[in-house]
Amino acid sequence: GAASKGEYRHFMQKEIFEQPAVIAAALEGRLGERSVPAECFGPDAEALFARVEQLHIVACGTSYHAGLVARYWLERYAGIPVQVEVASEYRYRTVVVPDNTLFVTLSQSGETADTLAALRFAREQGYLGSLAICNVPGSSLVRESDLTLMTQAGPEIGVASTKAFTTQLTALMLLTLAMGRVKGLAAETQAEVVAGLRGLPRLVSRVLELDDAIEALSTAFAEKQHALFLGRGAHFPIALEGALKLKEISYIHAEAYPAGELKHGPLALVDSEMPVISVAPNDELLDKLKSNLQEVKARGGELFVFADEGVGLAEEEGVRVLRLPHVHDALAPILYTVPLQLLSYHVAVLKGTDVDQPRNLAKSVTVE
């Protein structure tokens, strides 16, 4: 049943391996032939989306990172300005709400106190309406929002969120395409990304086959006190999420930086005791990322790069490269999340921490 670990050692591991199936579930019945109809967000969504001129996205923790990825997507593919904020900040400040702004919450549980309070506060601020992207049907957030999209990840038991995050991203790409359709995104691009989404569960399965290789890498982290995650563009939030996973379950201090900010501070910390993890899908930022990696290498830093199989990055002394299957640019953040989850998982297992119930953390923070 859902509450049993089956063949797996931990719930987190089971949930990581469920991702091909739950991403397929998140897509089920929602893809048109060559586009995403707004109706999957409810019967009133099409008319509402046509009026939307801005989005404010509010969430906590891992769900906040999903929101940060969505900003890159929505601005690029739907041309809609997006602001993303953690709920505990949003709810206590003066927020300027431009006309025709849609308020969006992201939450696995639908019960996070700050996110719920943010929604209640937002309802008084003159938004066009509210949308909740959530994993728990009937939760407070779902009941109190105008529109909802369920992420269909099934129960998530591990405190460190995994499948809830990748299904949130999947749902957010559906939102991007549905908005893009209303806002005039090229039909060809819509069709390409829809085709990419159909193939995504299969690609995630292929990444899960890297499990043994990632377990072998994890030994390099077990004795380390710190780690630095780098990414650019929509992979900067993926680096943030990778760092959060490592902190949560292995208690290694980890930070994430947009690779271009490296020389504005964190480069001073790089030495042989500071492993640097980077995600390098084959997109237009690759050349810039490569030169950042050189800077790390030149300072004796140990580099771990997750790269597209087509990327010309060679393994050498101090540089380990793991190859991922090629994926459409738009969907790379979903795919590149998976090896970072596996890396944290294996480091935590090596360190002997309580993977499913990390110290001091709760699955759902229902009090402030």
Hey, which residues are catalytic here? 363
| Of residues 82 and 142, the one with the C-beta less far from ligand G6P | 142
Q: Nearer Cβ to ligand G6P, position 38 or 118?
A: 118
Nearest approach, Cβ of 356 to ligand G6P (angstroms)? 11
Smallest gap from Cβ 362 to ligand G6P, in A, equals 6
Check residue 132 for interaction with ligand G6P (CB under 6 A).
Answer: no
Among positions 98-127, residues that touch ligand G6P (CB under 6 A) are 107-109, 112, 115
- The site string for ligand G6P over 57-76 (x = CB under 6 A, - otherwise) reads ---xxxx-------------
Question: Residue 201 in contact with residue 99, Cβ under 8 Å?
Answer: no
To the nearest whole angstrom, how small is the minimum distance from the Cβ of residue 293 to ligand G6P? 29
Cβ at position 363, least distance to ligand G6P in Å: 6
Question: Where in 344-363 is the site for ligand G6P (CB under 6 A)?
Answer: 361, 363
If the CB atoms of residues 255 and 302 are measured against ligand G6P, the closer one turns out to be 255
Binding residue count for ligand G6P, defined by CB under 6 A: 16
C-beta closer to ligand G6P: residue 110 or 258 = 110
Shortest spacing between CB 358 and ligand G6P, in angstroms: 8
Contacts with 137 (C-beta within 8 Å, 6 or more apart), sequence order = 150
Residue 145 contacts ligand G6P per CB under 6 A: no
The residue ranges that bind ligand G6P (CB under 6 A) are 60-63, 107-109, 112, 115, 159-161, 361, 363-365
